[in-house]
Amino acid sequence: MDNASLIGRSVRVQVDRPLGSHHPKHGYIYPVNYGFVPGTMSGDGEELDAYVLGISQSVEQFEGNCVAVIKRNNENDDRLVVIPSGTLLAKEDIRAMVSFQEQHFDSDILLFSRTESTTQAARSGSG
């Protein structure tokens, strides 16, 4: 499945690294909820990871709209960006919210555009 096909669709995220938790290897604190979409497969052979943005409390599960896919250029391991229904985020906001982890990777953000009903690529770079 092309992960960009999930943009604009409702998805359920199983959160395994809730807001405020520590990364198991690198020790940094997650400023957002982070998890995976059960029943999907990413290029690394594991379930597709997802950032849950736009909520300020720690959750175990979350259902919302996928508004973007972060494509890491040096890895075959995409990340979804999932937000509450009815919420909008600019690509600059997404980039800022995920920079705690994505700053270490060269990546592109494929963003859902309501006005064009298509996806747009936004270069996020590594810093």
The sign of the dihedral angle between the CA atoms of 44, 3, 33, 72 is positive
Give the residue numbers spanning the domain of 13. Answer: 3-123
- pLDDT, residue 4, reads 84
pLDDT in tens, 63-85: 999 999 999 888 888 999 999 99
Q: In sequence order, what are the residues at sequence separation of 6 or more whose Cβ sits closer than 8 angstroms to the Cβ of residue 90?
A: none
Query: How many CA atoms lie within 13 Å of 76's alpha carbon, on the beta-carbon side?
Result: 7
> How many separate domains does the chain show?
1
The ranges of the chain with pLDDT < 50 are 115-127
CATH number for position 24: 3.90.80.10
The rounded mean pLDDT for the chain is 86
This prediction's pTM: 0.85
